[in-house]
Amino acid sequence: MKTIAETMTADHKACDDEFAHAEQAAFAGNWSGAETGFNAFRNGMAHHFKMEEDVLFPALVSAGGPSGPVHIMRMEHTQIRGLLEQMAAALANKNAQEYGGLSETLLIVMQQHNLKEEQILYPIADQVLAAERETLFSQMREV
């Protein structure tokens, strides 16, 4: 069975793909493509955050994992949600320049956040939650 780190990292990469599609379409002025791409990206991100905030993080903290880093990850989720909202507004106004600038900003914020999770938080989760992995995966699929 895959580790938590492998599974969640794969999900990050899937979100990255949607991000790139939306950005490319907006840059090319293909607004219907950008909307489809952006919605897929935003839904993917929302699902990823839900898996973490509703299942993984609480399980990690109640199993004795570190609560400080989890709190920081939650704060960064809020930051990312804020940028996603601004991007949705730029998309609705068909403002390519604004969308491009926000998308550039989001990329850096999101990738730094992902790196911290992938290199530090998920490996800890794999150690602390090794026995419950299967249950966690099925709970995460359901959120």
| C-alpha distance from residue 69 to each of 7, 43, 91 (Å) | 20, 24, 33
The interface region with other proteins, picked from 32-40, 43-51, 110-118, 130-138 by CB under 8 A, is 110-118
Positions 118 through 137 that interact with other proteins (CB under 8 A): 119-121, 124
One-letter identity of residue 10: A
Does position 45 interact with other proteins (CB under 8 A)? The reply is: no
* Structural tokens at position 1: 């069975």
Q: Residue 90 in contact with residue 98, Cβ under 8 Å?
A: yes
Neighbours of 110 (CB within 10 A): 20
Interatomic CA distance for residues 107 and 103, integer angstroms: 6
Does position 43 interact with other proteins (CB under 8 A)? The reply is: no
Task: Output Rg (C-alpha) for the chain, integer angstroms.
Answer: 16
Does position 102 interact with other proteins (CB under 8 A)? The reply is: yes
Closest CB to other proteins among residues 99, 140 = 99
Does position 60 interact with other proteins (CB under 8 A)? The reply is: no
Residues that bind other proteins (CB under 8 A): 16-17, 19-20, 23-24, 27, 66, 68-69, 72-73, 79, 82, 86, 97-98, 100-102, 104-105, 107-109, 111-112, 114-116, 119-121, 124
